[in-house]
Structure 1
């Protein structure tokens, strides 16, 4: 869901050029190509794409493809900004086997672009689109079913690589805050007013269910991507080459990321009334594959599926309200929130149908 932009192209190019001159003073003044924004993805942050070209003293051209991520200022999805946490995490991940974009530097003030920003290497490749959904059209829809399965499984393999990192040892990730589902669910429950769903019956029902079925999470917490989905992966052909977007990163059980991976895909197909692409593995196939990648059975996965649907619905409520402020309307009132809330109700019914009755420790707020 793209952020509505009202940037002056020339002023934006001048601001980026000034920053590059200050960042790379020995390289001289670069020539900046056209600045564009990807239209398929991204509501909570703005991304600018451009090529910067320098000429060295011998006249040789040096081209750096850039991606500039600007922190959200007017369209704030989350109650608190995770901006500095996600930059620090991306720097740490650059020293691991999890592929992320190289960071050239960041700017803390909003003087140049209206908000803090980070300048990164732009990795060549393609990202499955949210708008229109990759189930409806785009490069993924044009692939053979077998190659779509490769795209899906490739994302799972990179996510498992992330989950295998030693979050409590070599990597000090304490800056991400308290670990575990008890804290994360508690934060969601405490912020329903911010997300605009305080009196929504299906959200209240889901919150009550989650309180009553809170799992124990016996394993040490792992680094969680938070927004795990193929729409946050850059692909070269059907091969994943980089993971994107760390603003929702936290510490907890890998099941949480996998449930989000599945629900985000379900929303972009069933949730919006579009047939799911042939070749993409089913829920059952995905759970089996990820259990193998983790080296253990998944635990309490029904709980994490309900939690993913619940959290997704909180976010789409906030997104819907922000977009309505810009004058955006939807046919027949089918807002992102209405669609995800309907899907949340189905997930709750599925959970009841599986007779999921693990009591856990419970949660009171």
Structure 2
């Protein structure tokens, strides 16, 4: 759900130019042009930046993205911007395609809040609004291309999950305040913050918490890296191949089932969850699980249902928070005007009913 941005373009351009001078290779007094999107998503403010400077061979241009921590529109209780930057920097040496990061700035005096800068990757992203199941570039593909697109996303999951967080220097993610490793601790986190998210009275959320606590699956002794917000809408594609993996603010350590379940659940939200017919050509749940098990060499089916309920719980509380923010900042009159949160709650209800049945 997009929100309006307010920022002084001239001040931003001047301060970014000074900051980038010491961080872009070969940059000397770059001229910076900042595009302020009329609306940006929650969690972080996103600035699109062109930096140009003279070289012996003529003007050199770098297309950049600046991610600024939002002091106003914050979905999670704690910002994880620095962790996101650390993950992107660590993944640069792996086969997981990510943007190049040029630096992190903790001082809010520069742009009003901490931020980091990364490259802007060429390609296209499957849209959430309107859902890619209804219209847009995915709907325009033939069935074979849709299938290839989906499998490219599943391959990204496999690439992420086979990484060793210790070798990447990311073991500190185990101490994350918003995504602790132990599943029971994660459930504690969400339950303790239901008031913050705005869903303390949600029967679906309460039922999901009870079900999840009563059937905790076994956890790996050595948890792997999880993307967190694993979905087609967070991948930049060139053709139908993944070219860059975005949005790591939900990164954590744990079993791959958590990412796989989120990947399946968010696609389900964008089809069944909003009353849209799922596109033909996209592999179904069973085929996706089989492909993931083939890639990883291990069975995930026995406990995947638990992780899908967990995905539904997290999605419901996050969208409830989005609804609360929209009301608090007078973007909508009341939370009943936010179909995102209503649809998330309804899909969680159907998921719980299927498990109970």
- Scaled by the length of structure 1, the TM-score of the pair is 0.90
2-structure distance, mates of 1:217, 1:60: 56
Q: How do 1:29-68 residues align onto structure 2 when only pairs under 5 Å count?
A: 29-33=29-33, 35-37=35-37, 42-56=41-55, 58=56, 60-68=58-66
| Alignment deviations for residues 146-197 of structure 1 (CA, whole Å, 9 cap, x no partner) | 1111111101101111000123x42332211242322222212222121111
Alignment of 1:106-125 (within 5 A): 106-125=104-123
Q: Is the 8 A contact 2:63 2:119 kept in 1?
A: yes
**Could you tell which deviates more after superposition, 17-26 or 69-78?**
17-26
Who is 1:131 aligned against? 129
| Whole-Å separation in 1 of the counterparts to 2:338 and 2:86 | 38
Q: Distance in 2 between matches of 1:282 and 1:25?
A: 45
In the aligned structure 2, how far is the partner of 1:131 from the partner of 1:10? 30
What is aligned with 1:348?
A: 352
Looking at structure 2, the residues matched to 153 and 137 of structure 1 have their Cα atoms a distance apart, in angstroms, of 20
1:239 is aligned, of 221, 238, 241, to 241
SS in structure 1 of the partner of residue 48 of structure 2 = strand
Q: Deviations over 1:271-321 (max 9, x none)?
A: 222222221111111111111111111141110010000110010000111
Give the drift of 1:27.
Answer: 3.0
1:80 aligned partner: 78
Mapped partners of 1:279, 1:111: distance in 2: 49
C-alpha distance in 1 between matches for 2:354 and 2:168 = 38
Q: Say whether residues 1:175 and 2:172 are aligned partners.
A: yes
Please tell me whether the aligned partners of residues 327 and 335 of structure 2 are also in contact (alpha carbons under 8 angstroms): no
Separation in structure 1 between the aligned mates of residue 27 and residue 228 of structure 2, nearest angstrom: 38
Alignment partners' CA distance in 2, 1:50 and 1:26: 17
Cα distance in structure 2, aligned partners of 1:74 and 1:283:
38
Question: Residues of 2 paired with 1:124 and 1:145: CA distance?
Answer: 24
Q: What displacement does 1:335 show?
A: 2.6
* Residues 307, 38 of structure 1: alpha-carbon distance in 2 compared, 3 angstrom cutoff: farther
In 2: Cα distance, 1:153 partner to 1:120 partner? 26
SS in 2 for 1:300: helix
Secondary structure (helix, strand or coil) at the match of 1:32 reads: strand
Of 146, 153, 175 in structure 2, the residue corresponding to residue 148 of structure 1 is: 146
Q: Distance in 1 between the 2:34 and 2:86 partners?
A: 29
Q: Which TM-score applies when normalising by structure 2?
A: 0.92
SS in 2 for 1:69: strand
Partner in structure 2 of residue 93 of structure 1: 91
Task: Tell me which residue corresponds to 2:23.
Answer: 23
Runs of 4+ deviating beyond 6 Å: none
Taking the aligned partners of 2:111 and 2:18, their CA distance within structure 1 comes to 11
SS at match of 2:49: strand
For 1:50 and 1:137, locate their aligned partners in 2 and report how far apart those are by CA, in whole Å: 28
Equivalent in the alignment of 1:9: 9
CA deviation vs aligned residue, 1:74-93 (integer Å, no higher than 9, x gap): 11111112122221122111
Q: How does 1:280-359 map to 2 (within 5 A)?
A: 280-298=282-300, 299-329=302-332, 333-353=337-357
Distance in 1 between the 2:4 and 2:268 partners?
A: 25
RMSD over aligned Cα, in angstroms?
Answer: 2.0
1:189 maps to 2:191: yes
Paired residues of 1:3 and 1:46 also in contact (CA < 8 A): no
Is the 1:94–1:102 Cα contact (8 Å) retained in structure 2? yes
Deviation at 1:24, TM superposition (A): 4.7
Could you tell me whether the CA contact under 8 Å between 2:324 and 2:335 is conserved in 1? Answer: no
- May I ask how many residue pairs the two structures share in their alignment? 350
The alpha carbon displacement at 1:140 in A equals 1.5
Contact 1:180 1:251 survives alignment (8 Å)? no
Answer whether contact 2:312 2:344 (CA < 8 A) is retained.
Answer: yes
